[in-house]
Amino acid sequence: MTYAVAVARWEPNAGQRLASAALTLFAERGYDATTVNDISERAGLTKSTFFRHCNDKREVLFLGQDGMTARLAEAVHASTPETPPADVLAAVLDAIGTFFPEEIRAAATMRATVVAAHAELRERELLKGAELSSAIENAVRKQGRGETAARFLSALGLLALDITYHRWIADPDERSYRDHAAETLDELVAQASELPGPADTTRTTSGRSPG
């Protein structure tokens, strides 16, 4: 029995077990009332194992951040400088969609509720968004698209991700993440198409045509 427990403590899914345990405890007891020891014990792991994966309990719900950020950058890098902006956004949404299969919708919904209820977690969520945005911006900039394009696509990409995610977890009809991603992209493209074009250069500063 001792040997079996020791093996369990070193299972490769320790990060997932810690995140699941923390989410359950945060929902049951509240973030402030939950300790690192509580999370470790609920996950069937040691405190030292916890700290091999996270610096503190605030980090435990964000263990997949590095993989998500890297996947996002890869998706943008896979496009070319000539790829239309809408296609870059589609690649961004598709890349992140792999992290949100249908079977985790309930957990994702619970996680969003827990994060919204605690200031420390909201702050970390904002940092997560900034990291994703920066990944898009840096990848676009490296393509040589220019500073404006890099900042525009990073801002629009983060907006698309945020809208899609929150619609997905709140959808009573349980449509897939990819369905929501396609709908969000269509809406953003439609909104962009309604922006006014360049000002008529034949007009004077007074708004009247010359002559």
The secondary structure of the chain in percent helix, strand, coil, rounded to multiples of 5, reads: 70, 0, 30
Q: What is the DSSP string of 35-84?
A: -HHHHHHHHT--HHHHHHH-SSGGGGGGTTHHHHHHHHHHHHHTS-TTS-
Distances (CA, A) of 100 to 81, 148, 195, 196, 209: 28, 30, 32, 36, 54
Residue 102 pLDDT > 90: yes
Residue ranges and CATH numbers for the domains of the chain are 2-61 (1.10.10.60), 64-192 (1.10.357.10)
Q: What does the pLDDT look like over 8-29, one tens digit per residue?
A: 334 558 999 999 999 999 999 9
CA-to-CA dists, residue 135 to 59, 72, 128, 143, 179, angstroms: 19, 7, 11, 13, 24
pTM for this model (two decimals)? 0.83
Check residue 3 and give its pLDDT: 29
The CA distance from 144 to 7, in Å, is 49
Residue 192 confidence class, pLDDT cut points 50, 70, 90: confident
167: which DSSP letter? H
Report CA-CA distances (Å) from 1 to 9, 54, 131.
13, 28, 43
At residue 189, the pLDDT reads: 93
